Amino acid sequence: MDVGRTARAAGGLALGALAAQYVPSALALGQWSALTRVPGDLCRWRGPADRPAVALTFDDGPDPEGTPAVLDQLDAVGLRATFFCLGERAERFDDLVDEIGRRGHQVEVHGYRHEHHLARTPSWVGRDLAAAGRAMAGCGVRPRWYRPTYGQLTGATLLAARRQGWQLVLWSAWGREWTTTDPADVLFTVSRGLRPGAIVLLHDSDRFGVPGMARVARGALAPLAEELARRGLTAVTLDQLVASTGR
């Protein structure tokens, strides 16, 4: 028996397993690339660039302290958005999930708990996404899109999302509301990636970030609406942005 060869084979398998688990985290870097999506719809960062539209997206709700005010402001400035909701929050505030849809916005899924997948086992990730699916179904929502918390994912994330029938989506522009108290800073940061097909990340909750960040994001919506109009862009839901394009 060649003990050395056996050890090398075992080591190779272990390295392969680690790569399969953690290499997908590099997909988070896609926002800084020119890619629209990974073939096979493993992950998407943008919609097609041949239509004058963007998708505004909000993470971490629903939140009774942040979501209603964001919804009111979206209505006031005539913008449509997509809300990535946490399952545990949707269960507690299902009336807000209903309200998001009633006002013409899209509801998608952000997992069940707001935990970093790189610090969790594959079995935990699978259970979390299964629980999220049940929670959203209990709210009458059948998600198509899934955004992992913190924008980070593992091989287990990809497998669990595929098992639920969800397409993974990240973003190509973000507001970084947790870094400032000035909505003008959010507008400036978003504007650098604001072009046809952009998927913009904002937040309608402070619960997992810096206190006040949802208010800062909300304050940026009116000037953002003006900037979109100046550039000839329309804010649509994520489904509308990528509808029947295959791209």
Positions marked active-site? 59, 203
Closest to 96 measured CA to CA, from 113, 147, 105: 105
Neighbours of 113 (CB within 10 A): 16
Question: Under a CB-based contact definition with an 8 Å cutoff, are residues 105 and 81 in contact?
Answer: yes
Residue 201 sits at φ, ψ, to 5 deg, of -100, 125
The dihedral formed by the CA atoms of 15, 156, 145 and 72, expressed in degrees to the nearest 10: -100
Helix (H, G, I), strand (E, B) or coil at 84: strand
Place of tokens 């509801």: 107
Amino acid identity at 119: A
**Looking at this protein, which amino acid is placed at residue 104?**
G
Report the alpha-carbon distance of residue 148 to residue 42 in Å, rounded.
13
List the structure tokens of 104: 């013409």
Can you name the residues that pair with 61 across neighbouring β-strands?
85
Report DSSP letters for 8-33, one per residue: HHHHHHHHHHHHHHHGGGGGGGGGGS
